[in-house]
Amino acid sequence: MPLWVVVSSAPLRPIHYSTSPSAPQQRHTLAGVPPSDALPLREPRALYDAVGGEPTFRALIGAFFRRVAADDVLMGVYPEDDLDGAEERLRLFLMQYWGGPQTYDELRGHPRLRMRHAPFSIGERERVAWLSAMRGALDETAIPQPYDGQMWEHFELTAKHMVNAA
């Protein structure tokens, strides 16, 4: 049975696909994509693949953590004695989120972002510092549009969601 993926100018999101040929009809109602834009593909194409896979995520998160290590505000949130572990966890999570290997879930289970960040005091200052470091890392990595914009939108929303202190 073929795999159906909708091809459109809509932003690329984490992959959602179906093995049913009727999926394009269902997606038309939800996404406003005409069924004629649905093409059968052998494998889904995710943002993970589109930006270069693991090497790109290694570069992005490496650039981010170089900034974390140099930022006093962020070093108040990240465990100084486990920066390498924090780097690996963020890299694995983002790779999985954007359609890569499911290693994060295999090693750590469901992400539960709010729960995992609850022990850390994250206010507006930390949110802004985190976003600044990530923006610099995205710029350094030179992820092309539209993927940079899609990732940035996700980071902005997630950073806002992680704020747990005034």
Q: What type of residue sits at position 15? A: I
Give the range of the structural domain holding residue 25, as residue numbers without chain letter.
3-45
Average pLDDT of span 47-66: 96
Buried b (16+ CB within 10 A) or exposed e, 109-139: eeeeeeeebeeeebeeebbebbbebbbebbe
Q: Are 100 and 60 in the same domain?
A: yes
Report the C-alpha gap between 75 and 54 in whole angstroms.
25
Mean pLDDT over the full length of the chain: 77
How many domains would you assign to the chain? Answer: 2
Q: What type of residue sits at position 71? A: D
Q: Are 38 and 112 in the same domain?
A: no
pTM, entire model: 0.70
Q: Are 38 and 71 in the same domain?
A: no
Q: Are 63 and 10 in the same domain?
A: no
Q: Are 37 and 74 in the same domain?
A: no
Q: Are 102 and 157 in the same domain?
A: yes
* pLDDT for res 45: 59
Share of the chain above pLDDT 70, in %: 67
Q: Are 78 and 135 in the same domain?
A: yes
Structure tokens given for 67: 């900034």
pLDDT digits (tens, 9 = 90+) for 79-115: 888 899 999 999 999 999 999 999 888 777 776 666 6
